[in-house]
Chains A and B, each alone.
Chain A
Amino acid sequence: MDDDLQLLRSWHGGDKAAGNELFTRHFAALRRFFRNKVAAEDGQDLVQRTLLETVRSSPTFRGDSSFRTFLFTIARRELCHHIRRKHRKIDQAEVDLTVSSVIDLGLSPSAFAANQQAHERILAAMQSIPVDFQITLELHYWEQLDAADIAAVLEIAPGTVRTRLHRAREALRARLVELDAGHGESGADLEASLTQAALVL
């Protein structure tokens, strides 16, 4: 991954081809990071902001962690800025990402029906647990980051990652149980309740 570091240095020096190469390597992960958290129309802006901030702050990046960890750290900060910008329009309340979920925060990511395949059920449940729990689970399970890297991204002490991961799984499990109880097992029931909802509108 030191390759990434060289590309970043070259890009910072003005080599756009190097920037494009770096972007090509990490686009999928960045897109994945934002896709389940913000509305589709905000995703592109956030990916772009993250990239620009990455190159801007690259002199401060000494390479103690992997470039990916650096990128996710900045992506999470950009997400926080985004939430603050959005929230300033609504109210002044302080946002705590270990308490509020992307749904609570009104970020309107794409909706998943709760009766879908396993991974879509998970995606739906993830949107309603606290944002930092969601990020913890994603970085651990999807991006295979280790505890130290997750701690760096969340900007917390490495010792607390274990607890964080445990609490995140608990929250997700509780949410899945709620989803199951709320909608019953059969898709037909869900269809019926959707039709009802449409009639009310």
Chain B
Amino acid sequence: MNEIPTESLSLPPAPGGAAGVDTRLMRAAIAQDLFDAPAAPVQIGRFEILRRIGAGAMGDVFAAHDPQLGRTVAVKLVRAERRDAHTASLLREARALAKLVHPRVVTIFESGVHDGEVFLAMEYFDGGSLAQWIDAHPVRTRADVWATLAKFVDAGVGLAAAHAAGLVHRDFKPANVLLATDGRIAVADFGLAGTTRTAAPDPVPGAPSSLEQTSMTLAGGGTPAYMAPEQFRGDADARADQYAFCVALFEGLVGSRPGVSALDAERADIARRMPTTAARLVPRWIRAALVRGLASDPSARFPSMEALLVALDRRRHTARRRTAVVVGFVAAGLGGAWALAAPSPCASLSTDGAIWSGPRRAAVEAAYLATGQAPAATFFGEIDEALIDWSRDWAAARRDACEASHGAGQQSAARADARADCLEHARVSIDATIDAFIDVDPRTIANTRDVLARLPSIGRCEDPQALAAADEVAAIDRAAYDAAFAEVARARARLAAGQVVRLDDLQRGALDAVDPTRHPHLGAEVQLMIGEAVGLVDAATSLEQHLVPAARLAVASGDRILIAEARGLGECGRRQQGLAALVRPRRGGARGDDRGGSTAGLRVGGPGRGADERRRSRGGR
């Protein structure tokens, strides 16, 4: 490089992203200060930016006012530098959080694009991070140990919830746990999150590469100081989060991290030889749990975050319950893990075997093996594993709901009923999914992993907003509602499994009982389902007549998961339309407006298409 290219000396572009917001905030502040000019609020979407509250690795965060709901939110924007990489990360975070509704995980309200920049609007926390809290609360007494442990167990419950939703955080550290002065605490910064299903055999030909697989194959980033040894090799599952959690907890209790990084020290040994002052304060079982959680070999760690948390919370189970103030361990979030300790009227409520019972399991296995397709056995193994987990979680959640409703005044009877309804609907949905597995066809095999990645959410039954929707149930004839729900669940499970759903075959009678103005939640589900089915044939009609109305109903219902789903399908429809427009001219006039043709043209990996086109359509999925 001998000459400076003149064009690079030209005026730099105006700052975008977070820096652009900074500029606008500065301008408004000066106009106000010097000229008494009532500054128009700096807006991103409908949010009015108040001030900058932090800078993260990928993006900057601002406090903002939501005039529609009258609350303060946190708005995250990508940095101007390395914008593409950071935008991808922000979108990954939006997807991850949309799947996950839990009080110990930061809630995402909305994602959107403003002036070409992606932003996320999230729950606002005004109490700083756990990293700041640790600095302000060094452990000097036994009581400090319990206070620190309580904060970490809260955060750990959030991590466990993420794992239950199939997500690995991959960047857990105290700076990524947020506190609010009203006592809320939640895990944040899911920008590096991926799925827990790390084994990635060759994709089945013709199978769409799912979002999950894309984010999984990305090289695992993370913060080296907290990273497990296997994560340096780009191989992180939930146990890497457990390791990072233990590094952080050690730091919280001892005041420094165990060694510099997993690469040049056996951290478990450091935990074993904890400095004497700390060792005097930190109980033996906590030290033992840290030693295990910091094992270099993932298989030597606890099998799950829940197991680690139970080990850490041993104090609750011991008879020496001297200080009952042990602080708010959130039993609910753990799916009633401690409920096992004492027998209760709910203990005999259900066995998880009922859902994934012997005959049902055998039917799916036989159907899969009968297809004679090579990956069928592998996929059945994954189904088996996922459904065993799901049934266990469901049973625990139901037992938990039961205990909560028996508990004195813990929640209103209405809320307890709503929770039970929600869980019952989850059961109906999973039954429909199992039915779809039994009716397996080659497309179903290809879609197996997608289906498993989106099993009905149990966590959403803990979400007050989702439960509000259950009021709808009470508002109409119970049997009619359940029939409509079952019909929708059946069709949606089949669509998810790649099976054909003919609109003529739907039991329209059941669906017609749903009045969308009175039952926006179920109405949205109906429109989503029909939109999905129609979309396979005619993307434009699907979008206009079903998905857009579905999105409106979803918003009316207030259920964030449904909103996200409607948006996702709508986006998909829009891309397909764009894609169809791209594909048609290349084929010349021969195809005309043959509707079946447009569907075939959209199938990924179909014969006789250029690599270029295939890439584009895959991007559109």
Chain A contacts to B: CB under 8 angstroms: 16-17, 19-20, 23-24, 27-28, 31-32, 35, 40, 43-44, 47-48, 51-52, 110, 112-113, 116, 118-123, 137, 141-142, 169, 172-173, 176-177, 180, 195, 198-199, 201
Among listed B20-28, B165-173, B476-484, interface-contacting one: B20-28
Identify B12's interface contact among A23, A142, A173, CB under 8 A: A142
Tell whether, in the assembled complex, residue B19 and residue A119 are in contact, meaning their CB atoms are under 8 Å apart. Answer: no
CB of B583 closer than 8 Å to a CB of A: no
Closest chain-A Cβ to B176's Cβ sits at a distance in Å of: 16
Closest chain-B Cβ to A194's Cβ sits at a distance in Å of: 10
Tell whether, in the assembled complex, residue A116 and residue B82 are in contact, meaning their CB atoms are under 8 Å apart. Answer: yes
Identify A119's interface contact among B13, B31, B36, B82, CB under 8 A: B13
CB of B260 closer than 8 Å to a CB of A: yes
Tell whether, in the assembled complex, residue B35 and residue A20 are in contact, meaning their CB atoms are under 8 Å apart. Answer: yes
CB of B34 closer than 8 Å to a CB of A: yes
Q: Give every chain B residue within 8 A of A118 (Cβ-Cβ).
A: 5, 7-8
Interface size of B as a range: 35 or more
Tell whether, in the assembled complex, residue B26 and residue A31 are in contact, meaning their CB atoms are under 8 Å apart. Answer: yes
Distance A119 CA – B26 CA, assembled complex (angstroms): 24
Q: In the A-B complex, list the 6 residue pairs whose CB atoms are closest, starting with the nearest.
A: A20-B35, A118-B8, A141-B9, A16-B35, A44-B26, A142-B11
Tell whether, in the assembled complex, residue B15 and residue A177 are in contact, meaning their CB atoms are under 8 Å apart. Answer: no
Tell whether, in the assembled complex, residue B9 and residue A122 are in contact, meaning their CB atoms are under 8 Å apart. Answer: yes
Tell whether, in the assembled complex, residue B19 and residue A110 are in contact, meaning their CB atoms are under 8 Å apart. Answer: yes
CB nearest to A195 among chain B residues: B224
Write 29 A-B pairs (CB below 8 A) sorted by A numbering. Answer: A19-B34, A19-B35, A20-B37, A24-B31, A31-B26, A32-B12, A43-B26, A44-B26, A47-B30, A48-B30, A52-B34, A116-B82, A118-B5, A118-B7, A119-B8, A119-B13, A121-B8, A122-B4, A122-B8, A137-B9, A141-B9, A141-B11, A142-B11, A142-B12, A176-B4, A180-B1, A199-B261, A199-B263, A201-B225
CB of B324 closer than 8 Å to a CB of A: no
Q: Give every chain A residue within 8 A of B225 (Cβ-Cβ).
A: 198, 201
Query: Given A177-B1, A198-B224, is A44 in contact with B12 using a C-beta cutoff of 8 Å?
Result: no
Q: Give every chain B residue within 8 A of A119 (Cβ-Cβ).
A: 8, 10, 12-13
Q: A119-B8, A141-B10 are in contact. List 19 more A-B contacts (CB 8 A).
A: A16-B34, A16-B35, A16-B36, A20-B31, A20-B35, A28-B14, A44-B29, A44-B30, A47-B26, A51-B30, A113-B82, A116-B82, A120-B81, A137-B9, A141-B9, A180-B1, A198-B225, A199-B260, A199-B261
Distance A142 CA – B11 CA, assembled complex (angstroms): 5
Identify A199's interface contact among B1, B31, B224, CB under 8 A: B224
Query: Given A112-B81, A122-B9, A141-B9, is A23 in contact with B4 using a C-beta cutoff of 8 Å?
Result: no
Q: Give every chain B residue within 8 A of A24 (Cβ-Cβ).
A: 31
Q: Give every chain B residue within 8 A of A16 (Cβ-Cβ).
A: 34-37
Tell whether, in the assembled complex, residue B30 and residue A172 are in contact, meaning their CB atoms are under 8 Å apart. Answer: no
Identify B30's interface contact among A23, A116, A121, A180, CB under 8 A: A23
Query: Given A112-B81, A123-B12, A142-B10, is A23 in contact with B34 using a C-beta cutoff of 8 Å?
Result: yes
Tell whether, in the assembled complex, residue B224 and residue A31 are in contact, meaning their CB atoms are under 8 Å apart. Answer: no
Cβ proximity bits B414-444 to A, threshold 8 Å, 1 near / 0 not: 0000000000000000000000000000000
Within 8 A of A (CB), among B206-228: 223-225
Q: Give every chain A residue within 8 A of B35 (Cβ-Cβ).
A: 16-17, 19-20, 23
Closest chain-A Cβ to B13's Cβ sits at a distance in Å of: 7
Query: Given A142-B12, A199-B260, is A173 in contact with B4 using a C-beta cutoff of 8 Å?
Result: yes
Closest chain-B Cβ to A155's Cβ sits at a distance in Å of: 24
Tell whether, in the assembled complex, residue A35 and residue B4 are in contact, meaning their CB atoms are under 8 Å apart. Answer: no
CB nearest to A177 among chain B residues: B1
Tell whether, in the assembled complex, residue A172 and residue B4 are in contact, meaning their CB atoms are under 8 Å apart. Answer: yes
Closest chain-A Cβ to B115's Cβ sits at a distance in Å of: 16
Q: Give every chain A residue within 8 A of B82 (Cβ-Cβ).
A: 113, 116
Distance A105 CA – B305 CA, assembled complex (angstroms): 48
CB of B2 closer than 8 Å to a CB of A: yes
Q: Give every chain B residue within 8 A of A52 (Cβ-Cβ).
A: 34
Tell whether, in the assembled complex, residue B81 and residue A113 are in contact, meaning their CB atoms are under 8 Å apart. Answer: yes
Closest chain-B Cβ to A145's Cβ sits at a distance in Å of: 13
Distance A173 CA – B30 CA, assembled complex (angstroms): 37
Distance A146 CA – B5 CA, assembled complex (angstroms): 21
Q: Give every chain A residue within 8 A of B26 (Cβ-Cβ).
A: 31, 43-44, 47
Q: Give every chain B residue within 8 A of A40 (Cβ-Cβ).
A: 22
Tell whether, in the assembled complex, residue A51 and residue B10 are in contact, meaning their CB atoms are under 8 Å apart. Answer: no
CB nearest to B263 among chain A residues: A199
Most buried by A among B9, B37, B225: B9
Q: Give every chain A residue within 8 A of B8 (Cβ-Cβ).
A: 118-119, 121-122
Closest chain-B Cβ to A58's Cβ sits at a distance in Å of: 14
Distance A44 CA – B27 CA, assembled complex (angstroms): 8
Query: Given A20-B35, A116-B82, is A169 in contact with B30 using a C-beta cutoff of 8 Å?
Result: no
CB nearest to B33 among chain A residues: A48
CB nearest to B14 among chain A residues: A28
CB nearest to B3 among chain A residues: A173
CB nearest to A197 among chain B residues: B224
Q: Give every chain B residue within 8 A of A27 (Cβ-Cβ).
A: 27, 30
Distance A123 CA – B80 CA, assembled complex (angstroms): 13
CB nearest to A120 among chain B residues: B81
Q: Give every chain A residue within 8 A of B81 (Cβ-Cβ).
A: 112-113, 116, 120
Within 8 A of A (CB), among B276-310: none
Q: Give every chain A residue within 8 A of B13 (Cβ-Cβ).
A: 119
CB nearest to A144 among chain B residues: B11
Tell whether, in the assembled complex, residue B2 and residue A173 are in contact, meaning their CB atoms are under 8 Å apart. Answer: yes
Most buried by A among B8, B82, B260: B8
Q: Give every chain A residue within 8 A of B7 (Cβ-Cβ).
A: 118
Distance A118 CA – B81 CA, assembled complex (angstroms): 12
CB nearest to A115 among chain B residues: B82
Q: Give every chain A residue within 8 A of B10 (Cβ-Cβ).
A: 119, 141-142
Distance A52 CA – B35 CA, assembled complex (angstroms): 11
CB nearest to B264 among chain A residues: A199
Closest chain-A Cβ to B123's Cβ sits at a distance in Å of: 26
CB nearest to A196 among chain B residues: B224
Closest chain-B Cβ to A123's Cβ sits at a distance in Å of: 6
Closest chain-B Cβ to A69's Cβ sits at a distance in Å of: 18
Closest chain-A Cβ to B380's Cβ sits at a distance in Å of: 40
Closest chain-A Cβ to B532's Cβ sits at a distance in Å of: 41
Distance A35 CA – B81 CA, assembled complex (angstroms): 14
Cβ proximity bits B25-60 to A, threshold 8 Å, 1 near / 0 not: 011011101111100000000000000000000000
Closest chain-A Cβ to B131's Cβ sits at a distance in Å of: 14
Q: Give every chain B residue within 8 A of A44 (Cβ-Cβ).
A: 26, 29-30
Q: Give every chain A residue within 8 A of B223 (Cβ-Cβ).
A: 198
